[in-house]
Chain A
């Protein structure tokens, strides 16, 4: 949140004249004050202020202070359910106090005051001198009305200087009155705009899962026995977890599998201490979430798991003060011993997850729960991570519960529990060995749509932070082609996707769409980002599709058609975006993109975070679109699962260099 505010502060510093922008900074602050206690707002403001100071100097600090004031005022008043009257009273008081301070400070800082006043006087005197000069010039070269013009100019000049003189004479009162009035005005404008935005924000769901429990009993999470345990979330009409029996003993490695919606994550929550709706749980002591010798949880999203900025710091993050930890040993165990001083921002997904495991192990947990830790990680990272997990037993006395939707990950466990009703293992994702880069068959006879010639790209070029992302990439995409660009984390594949869509101009080389540079035709090539949520900007499905496709949201038929193309029922049109599942979000994005009949469709990691059934459904949909409508598809992924039909041609991207490009198939001379 603080980072969001700081980002807005930077923008408003970069654009000093777009003063309206600093109003944006008040939104996150207002939300903080509206949702949480006053203390949170203060902490957020301090953090944002420091960041803004580091980036933009004192001006940034001022902007943040201002945002915090307006946001805090609106948020608190809104939470207490008061109205405009309160805002006026409070802002008059705040304005009076603040400006009294400002006047006192200026009175004290006489040198700074003189400097500022001198600078203002100099500018005004300069303007006056110019005006008088013109007046004199006009008088010396008589032409009609010249006398009157000269007189007018002279009077304006004198008026300006007189006004400034008077203003500087009464400066304390002037600054006080002006400051108070403007603070009241800003507060009212902020209140008016912000209360509208906050009303809209009320719908944003709180998706946090884990709750800290007050632990008083001695810690002892294992052995744990669940007897007919089921769980139902408040305000729902079905069990998220159907009655389940299981037992986890110390040192056991248990795998829990099942499709999305079978209650895997809910079971994790119950094991991590949440009270079940029915059934009984027996443990020798309390759960001790995150405590030494208690329960540790590693979750799905690699970036959000890691809290420290430096690798070594992350391992100890959150440990009680005074605990000593053998950081080097823990990092060695997860294979990150050489990275202790590195920034966590530069780690790949797999490395981040291994780091999260190290941080969990720093607590010497009796029970370690890994919840779908591999689903956002590439093939290589997955193997390393699994190696770490299966090696745990040799060195630690810890029970491991591994929740996964990958078949082969469950195999290394001592026992497996399947939560799906049918117990049908065929729906599990099989990880598939890397196929060899294949020369394309003769069927892509269409003309080349996208031609990438000699493309290299470097981020931040010309600065000390320059980093090459792509090196001399050449290939072509033809009408109706299905192309898979495969590469691990940091191979430059996302950069390539942005270049293909025209969002990034490559440092050298060219990317041509139908013979013209693609960055001149942004929007002609559709790009579906890995984070589908970022691409959904409207609050409801029909508004979203209409806005993305460029037609009126009242045109219900076209919305329904667009949704039907991606296999979604038109009943979904009125659904709120936040109530969609991950797979549905991706399809809504595709509906909006496809409704514009793009020249080609690029998908960045389309299968990340989806379960087996959703994945295969999406792939089948894309196959159909490609076969029947001749859609040109470029998939960018670190996965292969079931993509052979959709993408007969594969290119391999490693460290920014394209490998095994089949020149004949590329169609380049």
Chain B
């Protein structure tokens, strides 16, 4: 018997939800790297791709990202679901670009097909995916607790310019601490909103007015809750005598970090060296 229970039909399988700012469980070489190394590498590669967005650079960086994924044992489940409309949109963009033709041209069954437009489109798309992947690697392998101390350490030279780096690091640490709590509160807020009856409005004007009113209400409630939370945390900070240390264990770059940085620099240098002779 394969008949499904009656309620099975209506039960939509929940799509994989996006998990934010939580490292993939487990440990690996990549997990153990100092957070500052990862931030530096991602920043450097972003700059590289901004200056030299050619196929070689994109390819090399993509290879680097994929190798890191393998090293860090990131399962496929960590990827969020890509909504269907995005694929459709990409296909549409690809199609309209493909019609442009241009060099290089290949011959399929005697018909010349110009691939220039499609290749350009593919390059832009791949570039944005690679950049997204870089950011994702950091959040998949880094405990959020390590980020703020790393920012403080990396920003130390800026102190010479009187930039309040330590203040920023504390803000980042607190924001990362408050992030999951606020997400929970917004979930409740959204659920409370769903529990309410929907008022029917007759005219479009009335509907718009009501929509605007509801948005303002939601924002106000969200901010009231956030401010209350902020006041409580402020009290807790005062009770601890203001800001000071944020980390119990000093984190420093180790040997693995230097190696990782070396590899990143080597990849960047290779990309630049290969791109320049090809450049326009």
Residues of A within 8 A of B (CB): 1-4, 6-7, 10, 14, 24, 27-28, 31, 39, 43-44, 46-48, 50-51, 53-58, 109-112, 114-116, 118-119, 121-127, 129-130, 196-197, 200-201, 204, 206-212, 272, 288-291, 294, 296-299, 301, 303-310, 312-313, 315-321, 323, 325, 327, 340, 343-345, 356, 359-360, 363, 459-466, 498, 501, 503, 505, 507, 510, 512, 517, 520, 522-523, 526-527, 529, 531, 533-539, 547-550, 578, 593, 596
Contacts and interface: CB of A to CB of B under 8 A. Distances in A.
B143 interface: yes
B238 A3 contact: no
A507 B244 contact: no
B32 interface: no
Interface stretch (B60-68, B174-182, B262-270): B174-182
Find the residue from A7, A129, A317, A547 having the highest chain B CB count within 10 A. A317
A340 B249 CA distance: 11
Contacts of B176: 3, 51, 309
B109 interface: no
B135 A54 contact: yes
Interface in B169-217: 171-183, 185-186, 188-189, 191-197, 199, 216-217
Contacts of B222: 4
30 contacts: A3-B175, A7-B182, A7-B183, A39-B164, A43-B168, A46-B171, A51-B21, A51-B172, A51-B176, A57-B135, A112-B53, A115-B123, A119-B121, A126-B117, A129-B100, A210-B238, A309-B176, A310-B143, A312-B249, A316-B245, A320-B241, A344-B177, A360-B239, A460-B16, A464-B24, A503-B191, A517-B11, A520-B10, A523-B194, A550-B199
B230 interface: yes
A523 B195 contact: yes
Contacts of B54: 111
Nearest to A27: B219
Contacts of A124: 100
Given A111-B53, A320-B241, A531-B188, 10 more contacts: A2-B171, A7-B179, A123-B93, A197-B220, A212-B241, A307-B237, A310-B143, A316-B247, A321-B245, A537-B221
Given A3-B175, A127-B96, A129-B100, A313 B247 contact: yes
B53 A539 contact: no
Interface string B28-51: 000000000000000000100011
A503 B195 contact: yes
Find the residue from A44, A119, A124, A309 having the highest chain B CB count within 10 A. A309
A39 to B, nearest CB: 7
B26 to A, nearest CB: 8
Label chain B's interface by main secondary structure: helix
A547 B217 CA distance: 11
Nearest to A51: B175
B108 interface: no
Contacts of A596: 197
A517 B145 CA distance: 41
Contact of A308 (B7, B138, B246): B246
Contacts of A303: 181
A57 B132 contact: yes
Nearest to A122: B117
Contact of B191 (A125, A465, A498): A498
A468 to B, nearest CB: 14
Interface string B132-145: 10110011000111
A309 B145 contact: yes
A119 B241 contact: no
B110 interface: no
B124 A31 contact: no
Contacts of B116: 122
B17 interface: yes
Contacts of A53: 135
B178 A207 contact: no
B106 interface: no
A10 B20 contact: yes
Contacts of A197: 216, 219-220
Contacts, number: 352
Contact of A130 (B19, B99, B227, B231): B99
Given A43-B168, A57-B132, A465 B19 contact: yes
B245 A533 contact: no
Nearest to B232: A304
B228 A212 contact: no
Given A7-B183, A321-B244, A290 B139 contact: no
Contact of B120 (A119, A129, A356): A119
Contacts of B239: 210, 272, 289-290, 296-299, 360
Contacts of A308: 145, 173, 177, 246
Nearest to B119: A122
B134 to A, nearest CB: 7
A535 B189 CA distance: 7
The 5 A-B residue pairs whose C-beta atoms are closest, nearest first, are A290-B241, A122-B117, A550-B197, A126-B99, A304-B232
B177 A307 contact: yes
A216 to B, nearest CB: 15
A303 B230 CA distance: 11
Given A24-B219, A321-B244, A126 B7 contact: no
Contacts of A360: 239-240
Contacts of A534: 185, 188-189, 192, 221, 225
Nearest to A525: B195
Given A115-B123, A461-B14, A317 B178 contact: no
A363 B239 CA distance: 11
Nearest to A133: B99
Contacts of A129: 99-101
A50 B227 CA distance: 21
Nearest to B227: A204
B157 interface: no
Nearest to B197: A550
B197 A320 contact: no
Contacts of A288: 241
Nearest to B20: A55
B91 interface: no
B233 A304 contact: yes
B25 interface: yes
B97 A549 contact: no
Find the residue from B131, B246, B279 having the highest chain A CB count within 10 A. B246
B195 A501 contact: yes
Contact of A3 (B93, B100, B182): B182
Interface string B83-122: 0000000000101111111100000000000001110110
Nearest to A463: B77
A536 B196 CA distance: 11
Contacts of B236: 299, 304-307, 356
B248 A315 contact: yes
Nearest to A28: B223
B183 to A, nearest CB: 7
Given A55-B135, A299-B235, A307 B240 contact: yes
Nearest to B233: A304
Contacts of B248: 310, 312-313, 315-316, 325, 327, 340
A538 B238 CA distance: 32
B159 to A, nearest CB: 13
A48 B175 contact: yes
B229 interface: yes
Given A57-B134, A125-B102, A534-B185, A3 B179 contact: yes
A43 B244 contact: no
Nearest to B11: A505
A125 to B, nearest CB: 4
B189 to A, nearest CB: 5
B252 interface: no
B253 interface: no
A298 B75 CA distance: 42
A512 B101 contact: no
Contacts of A547: 196, 199
